[in-house]
Homo-oligomer: A and B are copies of this chain.
Amino acid sequence: MALIRSVFQDELDSVSQSLVDLCEKVSGTIQKATQSILTSDLKLAEEIIASDVTIDDFQHDLDARIIDIVARQQPVASDLRALATALRMSADLERMGDMAHHVAKITRLRHPDSAIPAELHPIFDALGKAAEKIAKKTALVIGTRNTDMALEIERDDDEIDDLHRQLISALVAPNWKHGVETAVDLTLLGRYYERYADHAVSVSRRVYFLVTGKFA
């Protein structure tokens, strides 16, 4: 019995490690996507777009593994809730990959032009760094179940919301001179970074709830 329990524990740990790996993957992807859009790097954009399927496959395999564990181990309710939460986290992480992918598609759409006017590069550079930071911290939260760090992520998200507001203010300012098409691109880009961070917050809230039984 002790042996069976230990195999099960190993399986749970391996699910958790896969979530960490997936989170680190999508952290790398948003970093590259930001680089692609700031430097109009078509090759890098194509690489990100092509790699989206590997993130989708990773999530698909992980979900199949989780369901297989439930089928074989018939876990008690608390472990079952943790496994159901793992399914939800993998869906959030996969969506973060999609958001990076969407950024890369705008790089490709506007290449060789830049989708982002020069004076807004600092905002997107900051958005990219903040998104990467929040994803890296989320990977730590999944791996360590550190609830203080989970709460910090809420504040990191405020930083992204603030950058997002700065972006929208720049677009609707009377002196905006880059036309509507650029404004449409930047509205979508801003939304992608905001959603990327929202999903990271969602993951860290799920960890917080699993550990404490309370909502963050």
Closest Cβ of chain B to A39, distance in Å, is 24
Residues of B within 8 A of A63 (CB): 84
Residues of B within 8 A of A176 (CB): 180
- Besides A66-B84, A87-B87, A171-B180, 19 new A-B residue pairs in contact (Cβ under 8 A), listed by A number: A63-B84, A67-B84, A68-B77, A70-B80, A71-B80, A74-B74, A84-B87, A88-B91, A168-B184, A171-B184, A180-B180, A180-B183, A183-B184, A183-B187, A184-B184, A184-B187, A187-B188, A188-B191, A191-B191
Tell me, in angstroms, the Cα distance from A164 to B193 when the chains sit together.
21
Closest Cβ of chain B to A172, distance in Å, is 4
**In the complex, how many residues of chain A place their beta carbon closer than 8 angstroms to a beta carbon of chain B?**
26
Given A180-B172, A180-B176, verify A77-B71 contact (CB < 8 Å): yes
Tally of this chain's copies:
2
Question: Helix, strand, loop or mixed for chain A's interface?
Answer: helix
Tell me, in angstroms, the Cα distance from A91 to B85 when the chains sit together.
12
Residues of B within 8 A of A183 (CB): 180, 183-184, 187
Residues of B within 8 A of A66 (CB): 84
Most chain B Cβ neighbours within 10 Å, of A66, A88, A180, A181: A180
Q: Does A1 contact B (CB under 8 A)?
A: no
The contact string, 1 if C-beta is below 8 Å from chain B, for chain A 168-194, is 100110001000110110011001000
Closest Cβ of chain B to A194, distance in Å, is 11
Interface positions, chain A 67-101, Cβ under 8 Å from B, are 67-68, 70-71, 74, 76-77, 80-81, 84, 87-88, 91
